[in-house]
Amino acid sequence: MAYLNANIPVMYCQIRREYLYDCKKHHGEVEDCMVFGIASMAGRAILFHAIMENGGIFYRLPISAFIQHSFNVKKVPRMRLDELELWNCFSYYPSVTVFDALSGQAGKYIGKDKKWYNGSYLFTIDWAHPEGNIVDTDHSEIPQEHKCAHIMALDNGNYAAQPNHRILWHVPSYTVRNDIPDWDVQHTEWTVEDSRDWKTEDTNKFFYKIEDTKK
């Protein structure tokens, strides 16, 4: 698990040029770029690193700064950052995974405006706490608070970062039902060592016995 910065699958896309000028000028213009990494800071949006065709690198831009390579910027709807990404980063320790089961699959997420947005899966960012000697002040390992961020290329040309509880995936050979889940949020911390009803035998045997302490 990386600290602060992490590699991501490279995205060849376009950057809205106003983000290169502190959003003060060059609105409505784009230039080609290659997005290659992220920065994860607790309480901030996921921030992306990009290199331009002139060799310059610009760090820490939000997902709203980028549109897909093949789209005309004038036809890509402007969406607010909080419409594209629902939650901030949960810690300084991100992991980046391309899940094989989702790779190449289509999906849709429901936005704050109650509308569905279609797109395709790219990769997933998740968070955890690094180790026990650092005070855990974030929500990355609290069951009911934790969320991941699935990065999607939307059909409208934008990118999005959405959690599991906003997305329905379309896997043609498996997802054959059309209902929306009505599940409850999980509050349980699952563990197998919290019982007082068993212990191992006190020997050096490789295949040691497990004793039932209730007897």
pLDDT digits (tens, 9 = 90+) for 118-173: 999 999 999 998 887 888 888 888 888 889 999 999 999 999 999 999 999 999 99
**Sign of the alpha-carbon torsion through 137, 132, 47, 146:** negative
* Separation between Cα atoms, residue 214 and residue 211, nearest integer Å: 9
Put simply, whether the predicted model's pTM sits higher than 0.85 gets the answer yes
